Structure 1
Amino acid sequence: MKTIDVDRSLCDNHGQCAIAAPAVFRMNPAGILEYEETFEDGLLDEVEEAIDVCPVQAILLKN
Protein backbone atom coordinates (compact mmCIF):
# COMPACT_ATOMS: atom_id res chain seq x y z
CA MET A 1 0.00 0.00 0.00
CA LYS A 2 1.12 3.53 -0.82
CA THR A 3 0.04 6.74 0.89
CA ILE A 4 -0.60 10.23 -0.46
CA ASP A 5 -1.51 13.58 0.99
CA VAL A 6 -3.06 16.62 -0.66
CA ASP A 7 -2.02 20.03 0.65
CA ARG A 8 -5.43 21.68 0.93
CA SER A 9 -3.80 25.11 1.24
CA LEU A 10 -2.49 24.64 -2.33
CA CYS A 11 -5.28 22.59 -3.95
CA ASP A 12 -7.57 24.68 -6.17
CA ASN A 13 -9.85 21.74 -7.09
CA HIS A 14 -8.85 21.76 -10.77
CA GLY A 15 -9.68 18.04 -11.00
CA GLN A 16 -6.77 17.00 -13.21
CA CYS A 17 -5.85 14.34 -10.66
CA ALA A 18 -9.36 12.86 -10.85
CA ILE A 19 -8.94 12.50 -14.62
CA ALA A 20 -5.49 10.92 -14.30
CA ALA A 21 -6.30 8.55 -11.40
CA PRO A 22 -10.06 8.17 -10.95
CA ALA A 23 -9.66 5.16 -8.65
CA VAL A 24 -7.94 7.42 -6.10
CA PHE A 25 -9.19 10.97 -6.74
CA ARG A 26 -12.72 12.23 -7.42
CA MET A 27 -14.64 15.47 -7.41
CA ASN A 28 -17.72 15.56 -5.18
CA PRO A 29 -20.97 17.17 -6.38
CA ALA A 30 -19.85 20.51 -4.93
CA GLY A 31 -16.67 20.39 -7.03
CA ILE A 32 -14.38 19.67 -4.07
CA LEU A 33 -11.62 17.09 -4.34
CA GLU A 34 -11.99 13.87 -2.38
CA TYR A 35 -9.33 11.16 -2.38
CA GLU A 36 -8.20 7.89 -0.85
CA GLU A 37 -5.18 8.41 1.39
CA THR A 38 -3.93 4.89 0.73
CA PHE A 39 -3.98 2.96 -2.53
CA GLU A 40 -2.76 -0.32 -3.97
CA ASP A 41 0.71 -0.45 -5.50
CA GLY A 42 -0.85 -1.30 -8.88
CA LEU A 43 -2.24 2.26 -9.10
CA LEU A 44 1.15 3.91 -8.64
CA ASP A 45 1.57 4.85 -12.32
CA GLU A 46 -1.81 6.60 -12.35
CA VAL A 47 -1.10 8.41 -9.08
CA GLU A 48 2.32 9.54 -10.32
CA GLU A 49 0.57 10.91 -13.43
CA ALA A 50 -1.89 12.75 -11.16
CA ILE A 51 1.02 14.24 -9.23
CA ASP A 52 2.64 15.37 -12.49
CA VAL A 53 -0.50 16.99 -13.93
CA CYS A 54 -1.50 18.86 -10.76
CA PRO A 55 -1.14 22.52 -11.77
CA VAL A 56 -0.27 23.61 -8.22
CA GLN A 57 1.74 20.51 -7.21
CA ALA A 58 -0.50 19.90 -4.17
CA ILE A 59 -0.15 16.07 -4.12
CA LEU A 60 2.60 14.41 -2.11
CA LEU A 61 3.47 10.71 -2.35
CA LYS A 62 4.44 9.71 1.19
CA ASN A 63 5.89 6.23 0.67
Structure 2
Amino acid sequence: MADRSNARLNEEIESKIRQWDGTIFGASLKNMYENGTSYEGICKYADIDYEDYEEE
Protein backbone atom coordinates (compact mmCIF):
# COMPACT_ATOMS: atom_id res chain seq x y z
CA MET A 1 0.00 0.00 0.00
CA ALA A 2 1.29 3.43 -0.88
CA ASP A 3 2.11 5.94 1.84
CA ARG A 4 -0.74 8.46 2.09
CA SER A 5 0.62 10.54 4.96
CA ASN A 6 0.89 13.86 3.09
CA ALA A 7 -2.35 15.58 4.20
CA ARG A 8 -1.94 18.64 1.95
CA LEU A 9 -1.37 16.53 -1.13
CA ASN A 10 -4.21 14.16 -0.21
CA GLU A 11 -6.58 17.14 -0.05
CA GLU A 12 -5.41 18.40 -3.45
CA ILE A 13 -5.87 14.97 -5.04
CA GLU A 14 -9.28 14.46 -3.40
CA SER A 15 -10.33 17.92 -4.58
CA LYS A 16 -9.41 17.03 -8.17
CA ILE A 17 -11.33 13.76 -7.85
CA ARG A 18 -14.44 15.68 -6.71
CA GLN A 19 -13.95 18.32 -9.41
CA TRP A 20 -13.76 15.68 -12.16
CA ASP A 21 -16.42 13.33 -10.71
CA GLY A 22 -18.38 11.60 -13.45
CA THR A 23 -15.58 11.80 -16.02
CA ILE A 24 -13.09 9.21 -17.19
CA PHE A 25 -10.29 11.40 -15.86
CA GLY A 26 -11.92 11.56 -12.42
CA ALA A 27 -12.57 7.82 -12.33
CA SER A 28 -9.00 7.07 -13.38
CA LEU A 29 -7.58 9.45 -10.80
CA LYS A 30 -9.75 7.95 -8.04
CA ASN A 31 -8.71 4.45 -9.08
CA MET A 32 -5.03 5.41 -8.96
CA TYR A 33 -5.45 7.06 -5.55
CA GLU A 34 -7.38 4.17 -4.01
CA ASN A 35 -5.19 1.42 -5.46
CA GLY A 36 -1.77 2.50 -4.31
CA THR A 37 -0.29 4.44 -7.22
CA SER A 38 2.62 6.54 -6.00
CA TYR A 39 2.14 10.22 -5.30
CA GLU A 40 4.57 10.96 -8.10
CA GLY A 41 2.52 8.96 -10.60
CA ILE A 42 -0.74 10.55 -9.51
CA CYS A 43 0.74 14.04 -9.67
CA LYS A 44 2.10 13.44 -13.16
CA TYR A 45 -1.30 12.17 -14.35
CA ALA A 46 -3.25 14.99 -12.67
CA ASP A 47 -0.80 17.77 -13.60
CA ILE A 48 0.00 18.59 -9.96
CA ASP A 49 3.48 19.92 -9.19
CA TYR A 50 4.62 17.29 -6.70
CA GLU A 51 7.52 19.47 -5.53
CA ASP A 52 4.99 22.00 -4.17
CA TYR A 53 3.68 19.33 -1.79
CA GLU A 54 6.82 17.34 -0.91
CA GLU A 55 7.31 17.00 2.82
CA GLU A 56 10.76 17.69 4.16
TM-score relative to the length of structure 2: 0.36
- Comparing both chains, which one has the higher relative contact order based on Cα–Cα distances under 8 Å and sequence gaps of 6 or more? 1
Structure in which a larger fraction of residues adopt strand: 1
TM-score relative to the length of structure 1: 0.34
Structure in which a larger fraction of residues adopt helix: 2
